[in-house]
Amino acid sequence: MAERFETLEIAREGRVAIVTFRRGDQLNAMNKAMQSEITAAFEGLSADAEIGAIIVTGEGRGFMAGADIKEYAAQSGPEFDAFQQAGERMYRAIEANAKPVIAAVNGFALGGGFELVLCCDIVLAAPEAKFGLPEIKLGLVPGGGGTQRSVEKLGRNRANLLLLTGAIQPAAEFVASGLVAEIVPLDGLMARAMDLAVMIAAEPPAAVEGLKRLTALALAGDRAAGLAAERDLVCALYRSEIGQARVQDFAAKSTARAAEKAAKAASKTG
From CA 176, how far away is CA 188, in angstroms rounded? 22
| Single residue among 201, 219, 243 that ends a domain in this structure | 201
Looking at residues 147-158, what average pLDDT do you find?
A: 97
- Mean pLDDT is highest, among 46-50, 69-73, 252-256, for 46-50
Count up the domains in the chain and report the number: 2
Domain match, 114 and 214 both: no
For residue range 214-231, what is the model confidence (pLDDT) as tens digits? Answer: 999 998 888 999 999 999
Identity (one letter) of the amino acid at 14? G
- Of 153, 171, 201, the residue that ends a domain is 201
Q: Is 196 found in the same domain as 132? A: yes
Whole-angstrom Cα distance, residue 194 to residue 196? Answer: 5
Q: Are residues 133 and 58 in the same domain?
A: yes
Average pLDDT over residues 175-185: 97
The predicted structure's pLDDT at residue 267: 79
Q: Give yes or no: residues 106 and 190 share one domain.
A: yes
Please check whether residue 33 is in contact with residue 19, taking contact to mean a CB–CB distance below 8 angstroms: no
254 and 147 in a common domain: no
Shared domain for 145 and 118, answered yes or no, is yes
Q: Give Dmax (Cα) for the chain.
A: 90
Would you call 129 exposed, middle or buried from its count of C-beta atoms within 10 A (0-12, 13-18, 19+)?
A: buried
Question: Hey, which residues are catalytic here?
Answer: 115, 135
Answer whether residue 248 shows pLDDT above 90. no
End residue of a domain, out of 143, 169, 201:
201
Q: Kindly state whether residues 185 and 210 are assigned to the same domain.
A: no
pLDDT of residue 249: 83
Mean pLDDT, range 16-21, rounded to an integer: 98
Residues 172 and 264 placed together within one structural domain of the fold: no
CB 23 within 8 A of CB 34: yes
The pTM assigned to this predicted structure is 0.92
What is the domain extent for residue 255? 205-269
Residue 184's Cβ-side half-sphere holds a number of Cα atoms within 13 Å equal to: 20
The Cβ of residue 154 has, within 10 Å, a number of other Cβ atoms equal to: 20
Q: What pLDDT score was predicted for residue 129? A: 98
**Is the per-residue pLDDT at 183 higher than 70?**
yes
Amino acid identity for residue 230 in this structure: E
Between the CA of residue 34 and those of 68, 70, 246, what are the distances in Å?
10, 14, 42
Q: Above 90 in pLDDT, residue 89?
A: yes
Q: Are residues 17 and 135 in the same domain?
A: yes
Mean pLDDT of 111-121: 98
Which tens digits make up the pLDDT trace of 186-204?
Answer: 999 999 999 999 999 999 9
Query: 266 vs 1, which has greater pLDDT?
Result: 266
**pLDDT tops 70 at residue 150:** yes
Q: Measured between alpha carbons, how far is 253 from 37 in angstroms, rounded to an integer?
A: 48
Q: For the purposes of burial, counting CB atoms within 10 Å of the CB of 147, is it exposed (0-12), middle (13-18) or buried (19 or more)?
A: middle
At residue 270, the pLDDT reads 61
Residues 36, 133: one domain? yes
Q: Are residues 53 and 179 in the same domain?
A: yes
Q: Which of 66-75, 132-141, 151-160, 167-176 has the lowest mean pLDDT?
A: 66-75
pLDDT at 256: 84
Mark whether 20 and 131 lie in a shared domain: yes
SS3 letters across the chain: CCEECCCEEEEEECCEEEEEECCHHHCCCECHHHHHHHHHHHHHHHCCCCCCEEEEEECCCEEEECECHHHHHHCCHHHHHHHHHHHHHHHHHHHCCCCCEEEEECCEEECHHHHHHHCCCEEEECCCCEEECHHHHHCCCCCCCHHHHHHHHHCHHHHHHHHHHCCEEEHHHHCCCCCCCEECCHHHHHHHHHHHHHHHHCCCHHHHHHHHHHHHHHHHCCHHHHHHHHHHHHHHHHHCHHHHHHHHHHHHHHHHHHHHHHHHHHHHHC
Taking Cα atoms as reference points, which of 133, 129, 134 lies closest to residue 171? 129
The reported pLDDT for the residue numbered 163 is: 98
